[in-house]
Each structure stands twice: as C-alpha cells, then as structure tokens.
Amino acid sequence: MTAVTATRTRSVEATVVVARVLLGAGTAAGALVLAAELLGQAAAFPVTFLLSALLQLVVLVVGFAVLRRIRPIHSPPFGVSAVGVLWGGLAATGGALLANDALGGVWAKAVSPAFDAAWGAALTAPLNEEVLKVAGVGLLALAFPLVLRGPVDGLVLGALTGLGFQVVENVLYGLRTVEAAGGVGEVGAAIETFVVRVGVTGLGSHWAMTAVAGAGVGFMVAHRVAAGVFLIVLAMAMHWLFDSPLLSFTGGVAVKVAVNFLIFLVLYFTLRRTYRRHARRALHADESTTLLTRHARRKARRHVPAGPERARVIAYQRSRLATLDE
C-alpha cells in the first residue's frame, strides 16, 4: 500500500467514524427534544397518544417492509435502514420542532400576520424539514459508503428517513388536534389524524419528498452534482406545494398528493430501469436469470441440498451482488 493510498484510507475511516458519531448524537438530541415536547401532552391526553402511536406503528412496520422491498435486486441492510428511520423520526423531527419555533413569526414580521398564516408553513417547512431529513441521508452516505453508492440507494434510504419523520409527525398532529378541540374526543382525534394524514395525504407526504432528495444525495455520491442539486430542490418544491394554500379544497389536496406521488414514481421507475440494465451488463448471461430477482435466488437455493453446498451458493450470491453494487 502506497503512502497516498494509506492516507486516503485513514481519511475515509475517520469520515465514517465522525459521520456515525453525528448520526448517533443527532438522533439522541432529537429524542430529548421530542421527549420534552411529548411528555406533557401525552400525560394530558394519554388515549390520543397511545392510539396514535399504535396506528402509526402499523404504518411504520408496513412502510418499512415495503420501502426496503422496492430497491431493485436486493434490499438495503436492515440496520442501516433502521438508522435512517431513527434519524427521520427523532433527529429530523426534533430539529424541526426547534427550527419551527425559531422561525415562527418571521413571515408575520417581514410581511403580515395574514401572509404568515397562509404561506408561513409553505415557506418555512421546505427549508428546515427537508434540509434536516436530507442531512441524515448525507450522513448515511458518509457513515456507510458501501451501502449508499448511488441514486437507487439514496432514494430508498431517503424514503425510509422520510417515513420516520412522517409517522412521528403524525403522532404530534394527533395530540395537537385533540388539544385544539379542548381535550374533547381523544379517540376521534387519533382516528381523524390517521385517516387524513395516512389515508388522504400519505402517498404524497414526507417519504416521497425525501425519497427524491435522497436520490439527489445518491447522484452526488456518484459525482453527478448538478442532478443531485436539482432533485434536492425538487423535493423542496414538492414540500412547498404540499404545504401551500394553493388548491386547498378537497379535490385540490388530492391533486397535490397525486403530483408528489407521480414525481416519485417517474423517478423510481427511471432509476430502476437504468439500474437493472447496468446490472444485466455487469453479470454473465446465465447469472442474469439467477441473480437479478429475489425469487430466482431463492429458487436457486432451494434446488441445492441444505448444508455446506447451500452455504456455498448463498456465499456466491452475496459476493456477486456485492460486486454488482460496486
């Protein structure tokens, strides 16, 4: 190993350590902020809190499984996926609470209270919430460089980070709903929040926005900075549209959700097609039929007797997939 290579290796290792420390510290700090925010409200409205938390836990479990599954060829590692969810749910959400408090009233002072009431969320949330969420994806790229290698990885880990933010925010909204109603109808507040923020707006919310921004981080990792910046700005625009007073009637809200979801779908299927095409080129012709899908890999393993021979097949599949990722 040359001196230059050794220096570069040490630099990468140091970056990984620093990024992992920041992920842990940010998540812990966010958890403390959320605890301070939630303790009083949860004690005052325990039924709303517990029911909201249970409903959102279901959303989290289902969303976690589905979003990891949509990655072409193989899912991202469970642990790294969980770190993304924790950053979104704790660090980004806790940081957003502080940022929203700090920025509260800025637009009222700069323009007018009426302008702040109408446009404050749309002008503030894309700047602080999207930045905080995508910062987590960026830290994942630095902390786990063998996992987040390009836009496909960034999209999936970004979606998981946004999912974490979304489910925790939904619990907070449930508590705010019952508080605004004077503490009346605790069960109704939790169910209403679930129906509106999952059933009505869920498909176009934080997971979709941060999936787009995460793909941008992936492009930056792949040294395509212009494409990365464009997608991060696009995610902010999606958030702006989502929170803006434009199309605020029922049908209009459905349009905004559909626009955000369509943007995600177009980006996802474009990246998926490109990724699979490159994968076919990287593998031998016979490997393409046995490695490129989860079903094909399971089928290949089933046809081998259990024991050392099957272990060798599993090791071979993993090594080829690792080579493919590189």
Model confidence pLDDT, tens digit, residues 227-239 = 999 999 999 999 9
* Residue 150, both tokens: 């390009």
pLDDT at residue number 326 = 72
Model confidence pLDDT, tens digit, residues 238-288 = 999 999 998 888 789 999 999 999 999 999 999 999 998 888 887 776 677
Rounded to whole angstroms, the Cα distance separating 131 from 211 reads 13
Residues of the chain with pLDDT below 70 are 1, 3-4, 104, 285-286
Distances (CA, A) of 260 to 37, 204, 256, 263: 30, 5, 6, 5
Phi, psi of 167 (to 5 degrees): -70, -35
